[in-house]
Amino acid sequence: MNKKYTILIVDDKPENLQYLNKILKCDEYDIRATLNATMALKAAKLNTPNLILLDIKMPEINGYELCSKFKQEDELKDIPIIFISALNNIEDKIKAFEEGGVDYITKPFEPKEIQARIKTQLQIHKSKETIHNLLKQQDLFVKKIMHDMNTPVSIISLNTELIETNNGPSKQIDAIKASSKTLSCIYGDLSYKIKKENRHYEISKINLLNFISSRIQFFDELANEKDIHIQLEYTQDINVFINKYEMERIIDNTISNAIKYSTESSEIIIFFGEEESDYIISIENFGSIIEDTKKIFDPYFQQSKKRPGLGLGLNIVKEICDKYDVKIKVHSQKDSATKFIFNINSILK
């Protein structure tokens, strides 16, 4: 047996309530009606409706004000509200939508029109709830993956170091370490996406020479896998003021992306310092060109399906740069280099 939809009708005219009840009375709907705006709010809190039909011209509290009160309640704010009124001017219709209404039906009522509009809004609301529940499940699924992924990645890293200490370096160990670094970057991106709303990002002073040198060292095995040399150049020692974890996501994702799309036995040139009166960080690699330098920042975009990754890295880079007002320029030309240029004036103090 299908669950009935509860519809709450709020109108100060008894004849309107009776007429709407007659039009909508069927096996699909459970109709609740009230003449009083205050009672309507209490009734909705006690038994949350799936949809509200709300008159505009009522004594004490008009429909606009009552709609606003519904939207202030967490448990009621997402309920679709259809305004019903004899007012037929464009200003009232605009105000109804501005207050949060999803539709506007004018009196006198046309039965088939009301039935069709209510059915449409209930279907839309049901679809939104389904999407919301799927996103919640997806969030829980990703969190579970992250939890299950962290431990084995840590074990792989620790045991690889131990094997290398006991037996010396080898290409096989370097390959394992490189893959571990790739997984670590993916884990970092997922962690940022999941926790960014609840994590406090404290700004700290970061010395670029020390910081970027440490990130280059982190990617050493990954670069060696493709015989890529990472070169660091700078004009002066610079400190920036930004959250360390967020800075790590910017640099790590840009370097890993550069390695991914570089040709073998090439080089990556990282530069920071003053250039044409601006302070910048640039990361330049030689390999595949970027056909659309704007699309690469879209979530889940992957230029090549053959390269590993989730398509989140550069989207996260853009997100963090926007937060700190760090401007990004990307130059990519055939038979030339691809260069990411970050204007860091906004994070200097």
pLDDT at site 142: 65
> Could you list the pLDDT tens digit for every one of the 349 residues in the chain?
457 899 999 998 899 889 898 888 887 888 999 998 889 999 899 889 999 999 998 888 899 999 999 999 988 998 999 998 888 889 988 999 999 999 998 888 888 988 999 999 998 888 888 888 877 776 677 667 666 666 676 777 777 778 878 888 787 887 787 777 777 777 777 777 777 767 788 999 999 999 999 999 999 888 988 999 999 999 999 999 999 999 999 999 999 989 988 999 999 999 999 998 899 999 999 988 887 788 888 876 666 555 555 567 889 999 999 999 999 999 987 767 899 999 999 999 7
In CATH, the number for domain 131-200 is 1.10.287.130
pLDDT at site 308: 52
Are residues 317 and 249 in contact, defined by beta-carbon separation less than 8 angstroms?
yes
Q: Which residue has the tokens 């039909």?
A: 53
Long-range CB pairs of 188-193 (<8 Å, 24+ gap) are: 188/248, 188/249, 188/252, 189/249, 189/253, 189/310, 189/312, 189/313, 189/316, 190/142, 190/145, 190/146, 190/310, 190/312, 191/146, 192/245, 192/246, 192/249, 192/316, 193/142, 193/312, 193/316
pLDDT at site 1: 47
Q: Which residue has the tokens 């709300």?
A: 54
Domain spanning 203-349: which superfamily?
Histidine kinase-like ATPase, C-terminal domain (3.30.565.10)
Residues of the chain with CATH 3.40.50.2300: 5-109
Are residues 337 and 286 in contact, defined by beta-carbon separation less than 8 angstroms?
yes
Residue 192 corresponds to which tokens in the numbers above?
Answer: 């940022």
Residue 28 corresponds to which tokens in the numbers above?
Answer: 């699909």
Q: Which residues contact 91 (CB under 8 A, 6 or more apart)?
A: none
pLDDT at site 185: 78
Residues of the chain with CATH 1.10.287.130: 131-200
Record: fold of 5-109: Rossmann fold (3.40.50)
Burial class (CB in 10 A: 0-12, 13-18, 19+), 62: middle
Please provide the DSSP assignment of 177-239 as one string.
Answer: HHHHHHHHHHHHHHHHHHHTTT-----EEEEHHHHHHHHHHHTHHHHHHTTPEEEEEESS--E
The pairing of beta strand 81-85 with beta strand 229-234: unpaired
SS3 assignment, position 54? strand
| pTM of the full structure | 0.58
pLDDT at site 175: 79
Residue 302 corresponds to which tokens in the numbers above?
Answer: 């992957």
Residues of the chain with CATH 3.30.565.10: 203-349
Q: Which residues pair with 7 in a beta bridge?
A: 31, 51
d(CA 344, CA 321): 9
pLDDT at site 307: 54
d(CA 220, CA 218): 6
Residue 117 corresponds to which tokens in the numbers above?
Answer: 């509009």
pLDDT at site 50: 92
